[in-house]
Amino acid sequence: MPTSRDWMIIAAARLLQDGERVLVGVGVPNIAANLAKRLHAPGLVLVYESGVIDARPEKLPLSIGDGTLVEDALAVLPMYELFSHYLVRGWIDVGFLGAAQIDASGNLNSTVLGPYESPRVRLAGSGGAAEIATYAKRTIIVMEHDRNRFPAKVDFITSPGHPPGARRPDGRGPWRVVTSLGLFGFDEHGRMGVLALLPGHSYEEVLDMTGWRIPCLTDEFHYSPPIQPEEEAALAALRSTLTIGDQK
């Protein structure tokens, strides 16, 4: 039986299209992007903020600076070039990120829980996320869904989402959010809403796990199609290449 986490990874992978250039963040986005490349998007160009362009990893990379990403990559660029000459110039189609918190406008927090000056939990910080979230042509966020992670207002805006009251006019910013409960989009006011619920989950559950009254954006509630055997097999195969680590 596929778990909610499997569903989240597969639903996220399905959003990536063949031929797109995707800047891949650490954690679940990394698994989902590698999965998409082994399924419907063999021409997906995997880009990592470490400077790797068009990685073709044999194994699931544990981190985004791994040697396995460098072998058979088209290029490894200095970080400065990747950010200045490619990302902020608009050459990345999809920013593919995780975060500790997200709010209704798609603001992402990966810096602190609690106040910045005296944090309850000090997280890793932006890394490339702030620029990825704002300069990729669109952004997909993947994260586990619970009330602490979906507050009305994030504790700290690491990566700005949509501005108050409006969606970004040029398509940039948060486009889809994939969680362990469902698939989410943003309305014309730049506010997050439900697009579909993953199997086994209800709208009430989403409301319960979200810190604001999140609306439904469609009538077509139920996510489809079901997980295909080849998706399940590819995910299992991918995980088997990661011999250690708790990322699976």
Partner 1 sequence: MTQRMALSELISSYIRAESTVYLAGFSHLIPFAAGHEIIRHGIKHLTLCRSTPDLLYDQMIAAGVAAKVVFSYAGNPGVGLLPAFRRAVETGGIVIEEYTHAEMVARLEAGAAGLPFWPVRAEDNDLTVQRPRASVVCPYSGTQIPVVPALNPDVTLIHVQRADEAGNLYMWGLPGEIKEAALAARTLVATAEEIVPADSARTDREHLIVPGFRVAAVAHAPYGAHPSYAAGLYERDTVLYQEWNRIARDTAQCNKWLDEWVRGVPDHAGYLAKRGVRYFERLALKGGHDRANES
- Give the interface size with partner 1 as a residue count (CB under 8 A): 50
Distance CA 192, CA 218 (A): 12
What is the dihedral angle through the alpha carbons of 232, 192, 49, 29, rounded to the nearest 10 degrees?
A: -10
Q: Which is nearer to partner 1, 95 or 182 (CB)?
A: 95
Residue 49 designated active-site: yes
Choice from 50, 101, 139, 180 touching partner 1 (CB under 8 A): 50
- Check if the beta carbon of residue 123 is closer than 8 Å to that of residue 51: no
Binding mask 112-131 for partner 1 (x = CB under 8 A): ----x-xxxxxxxxxxxxxx
Could you tell me whether strands 182-186 and 108-109 are parallel, antiparallel, or unpaired per DSSP bridges?
unpaired
Choice from 29, 51, 174, 190 touching partner 1 (CB under 8 A): 51
The yes or no reply on residue 217 touching partner 1 (CB under 8 A) is no
- For residue 142, give every residue at least 6 positions away whose Cβ sits within 8 Å of its Cβ, in sequence order, or none: 8, 9, 12, 27, 28, 29, 32, 96, 97, 98, 177, 178, 179
Here the tokens at position 4 are 């909610």
Q: Which is nearer to partner 1, 62 or 217 (CB)?
A: 62
Q: How far is the CB of 186 from partner 1 (least distance, A)?
A: 17
Subset of 60-89 contacting partner 1 (CB under 8 A):
61-67, 69-70, 76-80, 83-84, 87-88
The yes or no reply on residue 156 touching partner 1 (CB under 8 A) is yes
What is the sign, positive or negative, of the torsion defined by CA atoms of 227, 248, 198, 21? negative
- The amino acid that residue 222 corresponds to is H
Q: How far is the CB of 224 from partner 1 (least distance, A)?
A: 33
Distance CA 113, CA 119 (A): 6
The yes or no reply on residue 151 touching partner 1 (CB under 8 A) is no
Binding site for partner 1 (CB under 8 A): 26, 49-52, 61-67, 69-70, 76-80, 83-84, 87-88, 111, 116, 118-131, 134-135, 156-160, 244-247
